[in-house]
Amino acid sequence: MYLKSIEISGFKSFGKKAVLDFNVPISAIVGPNGSGKSNVAEAFSFVLGEQSIKSLRGKRAEDLIFNGGKDAPRSNRASVKLVFNNVQRIFNIDFDEVSIERVVNRDSSSEYLINGSAVRLKDIVELLSSAHIGASGHQIISQGEADKVLNSNIRERREMIEDALGLKIYQNKKDESVRKLEKTEENIKQVESLRREIAPHIRFLKKQVEKIEKMFEMKENLTKMYHDYFRREEEYIKFEKQSISTEKHPLVEKSHKLEQELAEAKQILAKSSSKDSRSDDVVKVESKLKEVRALKDNLMRSMGRIEGEISSLLRLIKKQNETNSAMSKKTVNLFEVENVAKQIDLEIADATDGGDISKIKQIFASIKKILKDFIEKNKESEDKESIADLESEIKKLETEKNGYDIKLKEANNLETELSEQYSFLKSDIEKEKDSNRDAEKSLFRIVAEQNEIRGKINGLNSRESVLKHNEDELNRELQEASILVGVAALRYKDFWPTNADGVALTLDEIVKEPRQVQEDKKHAMEKIKIRLEDAGVSGGDDVVKEYKETTERDTFLERELGDLVKSSESLKALIVELEEKLTTEFKNGVTKINIQFQQFFTAMFGGGSASLLVVKEKKKKKSDTDISAMAEIDGDEIQEEQEESEEGLDIEVSLPKKKTKGLMMLSGGERALTSIALLFAISQVNPPPFIILDETDAALDEANSRKYGEMISALSKYSQLILITHNRETMARAGIIYGVTMGSDGVSRLLSIQFEEAVQVAK
C-alpha cells in the first residue's frame, strides 16, 4: 500500500482531529447526506495543492476552516496531512515515509510542509508529479467528474486524456517553447530594427572617421617631416654658431693686439722730436678714417637687420598668397551679387528702350566691364587687408633702408677720400729714410691689418645676424608645430636624419647640404598645413570613440541576432520533436485505453463496443493580419475568414441488442456506466497510487452495481481505492468501512469497521 493515512483537523466539518488509515486495497466511506463524507475527498484535493476555493465548495479560504457549532468553538486553522509509504521510492525523496501537509489560517495564508519542513507549493507539485498525482488529476473522481468526460467537447476530452496519460508535461513544455519562440522572434525583430536604425549613423561616422584617419595620417607625415627638418636645422645652427665663434675669436684677439701696437706707434710719433706737420696730418686722417669706418659698420648692421625683417615679411606674404591660391572655392556676399544684378538690369533696360545698335554694343561692353570688375574685386579681396599691412610695413622698412643707403654712400665716399689722403701721406712718408719715419710705417701697417681684420669680423657678424634670424624662425616653427600636431613634434631630438636608403647621415653631410633643400622641405610642410586647416574635422577623438562604441554595439547586436536565430531554430526543432512525441504517445495511449475501455464496457453491458476516436473538427477563424495591413483596413470592414482544423477525441459506443449509437442517444444510467467504464480504462493504462471515487455509483441499479463492484475489485489490483458511497454492493467490496456521522454540534465524527478483523473474531 502506498497511501497509509490521512489526518484531518479543523477542515470544514471536521472540527476535531480525525485520522483515516488505508491499509487495505479498498476502503469505503459511508454516511448520511450532509454528514461530511464528501469533505474527505475535498481534503485530499486541498492537501494535494488545489488552488480553486470554488472547486472546494467555498468562496474564501476562511470557508475551509471549521466555523464552530452549537457546543464546539470555531477553529483558527485547518490542516490536512497525507502519509505515504515510500519504501519503493515512488517519490523522488530519500525517506521511507513521506508526509505532505497543508495548513490554511484565518488570514487566508497557506503553509506547505514535507516531513514537517516548510516548502513551496511548487515543491509539492513537483514531488507529486513524479508519482502521477495532482490536485485536480484523474485520481479524484466525483459523480460530476464522471459525467464531465462525456459532456466535454473533443478538445477538452483530449486534454483530459493527455493529463491522465501523463502527457501534460510534454504539452506544458511545448506551450512554454511556443511562448519562448514568440518572445525570441519578437526579440529578433527588435534587434533587426535596432541594427537598421543605427546603420545610417555608422555609415556617417565611418566617413567622418576616414577623414579623421586621413588627417591623422597627414599629421603623422607632418610630424616626421618636422622631426627631420627641426633636427637638421638645429644641427646646422649649432654648427654655424661654433664655426663663427671659432673663426671670430682669433680675429678679435688680433684686433686687440693691433690696437695696442697702434697706440704705441702713436705715442712714439707724439714724442718724436722730429715730429712735423705731416705726422699730425697722419694722426688726424687716421682718426677720421677710424670714425668713418665705425659709422660704416653701424650702417651695415642696421641695413642687415632691415633686410632680415623685409625677408621675413616677404615670406609671410608668400605664405598668405599660397593659402589664398589653395582655396578651391570663394564665398561671395549675396548683397554684392544683388548689386551687380541690379546694375546689369539697369543696363539691359537702357538697351530695351533704345533701338540703336551702337548703343546696344556699348551696353554689352558695359555689362562685360561690370562682371570683370566684380570678379577682379573678389579675386583681390582675399586677405587684402593683411597683405596690405605687410606691404606697408615693407615700404617703411625700404624707406628706412634707402636712408641708410644714402648715408652709407656718403660714408664710402668719405672713406675713399680719407684713404686716398692716407695713401698719399703714406707714400710720401715712405720716401723719408730717417729713423723717425719707422713709427709712421708701423702705423700704416697696423691700420692695413686692422682694415683686413675688420672686414673679416664684419663678414662674420653678417653671418651671425642671418643665423640669428634662422634661429628665431626655428623657434616660431616649433611653437606652431606644437599647436598643430602636439608635443610629438617637439621630440625631434630623439631622431636623426637619414638618406633615401635609410642610412644615417653624418654631421658633415647635414651642415654642407644646400640651404635650398631645407627651404623645399619647409614649403612642402606649408602645403600639408594648409590641407590640415582645410580638413576642418573637429572632435576627432570623440568621433572615433563614438564610431568604435557604435560598431561594437552593432557587432554585439549581430552576435545576439545570431544567437536568437539559433535559439529560434532550436525551439522550432524542439516544438516539432514535442509534437511528434505528443502525437506518438497520445495515439499509443488511446490505443491502450481503447483495449481497456472495450473490456470494461463489455463487462458493464454484457457486450457491445466502445472506443475513443481521434477526429478533426473544422472551425472558422479570422485571418491574421500584420500591423501594416490592419492600418489600411477600415474599421467597418470584416476580415476574411479562414478554416482551421482542431484535433480531439470523440466517443463511439454501440449497445448490445440495440441500435443505439452515439452518446446523445444514451439514457442516464447508460451514460453513467459508459463514463465509469472510460474512467476505469484510463486509470488502468497509467494507474496512480490511489483513486478516490466519490459516489460515482449513485445512478446504478442493483444489477449494474454488481458489475461496478467487480470492476472495482479488478481495479484495486493496480491502485488503492477510496470509495465514498451509499451502495451496499460497493460497500461489500471494501476491506474497511469508515462511517461519518454528525451530531448536534455540527462536527463530523468517524466510526470504522474492518471486515477482515471482524471475520477473524467471528471465527
Which residue's entry shows cell 564665398? 331
Q: What is the pLDDT of residue 30?
A: 92
- Band of pLDDT at residue 572, cut at 50, 70 and 90: very high
pLDDT band of 129, cuts 50, 70, 90? confident
% of the chain exceeding 70 in pLDDT: 84
Tell me what the mean pLDDT of segment 729-752 comes to. 86
pLDDT in tens, 484-518: 777 777 777 777 887 777 777 777 777 778 878 88
Confidence tier at 634 by pLDDT (50, 70, 90): very low
- Buried b or exposed e, range 551-566, using 16+ CB within 10 angstroms: eeebeebeeebeebee
Confidence at residue 6, expressed as pLDDT on a 0 to 100 scale: 93
For residue 667, pLDDT over 90 is answered with no
More confident residue, 89 or 71: 89
Q: State the Cα torsion 726-729-732-735 to the nearest 10°.
A: -60
Alpha-carbon distances, residue 184 vs 171, 187, 624, 678 (angstroms): 19, 5, 20, 41
Q: CA dist 753 to 29, 647, 705, 738, 739, Å?
A: 10, 49, 21, 6, 8
CA distances from 264 to 135, 293, 426, 441 (A): 138, 21, 18, 13
**Length of the chain in residues, anyone?**
763
- The band of 563, judged by pLDDT with boundaries at 50, 70 and 90, is very high
Average pLDDT (690-698) is 84
pLDDT score of 188: 92
Q: What is the dihedral of CA 161, 162, 163, 165, to 10 degrees?
A: 80
Give the tens place of pLDDT for each residue, 111-125. Answer: 999 999 999 988 888
User: Cα separation of 466 and 534, whole Å?
Assistant: 33
Q: What is the pLDDT of residues 285-315, one digit of tens each?
A: 778 878 888 887 887 888 778 877 887 777 7
Residues 378-411 pLDDT 10s: 655 545 667 777 778 888 888 888 887 888 888 8
**Closest residue by Cα to residue 281 from 434, 450, 429, 430:** 429
Q: What number is the average pLDDT over the span 175-193?
A: 91
User: What's the pLDDT tens digit per position in 226-251?
Assistant: 888 888 888 888 888 888 888 888 88
* Rounded-to-integer distance, Cα 227 and Cα 683, Å: 94
pLDDT averaged over the chain?
A: 79
- Amino acid identity for residue 517 in this structure: V
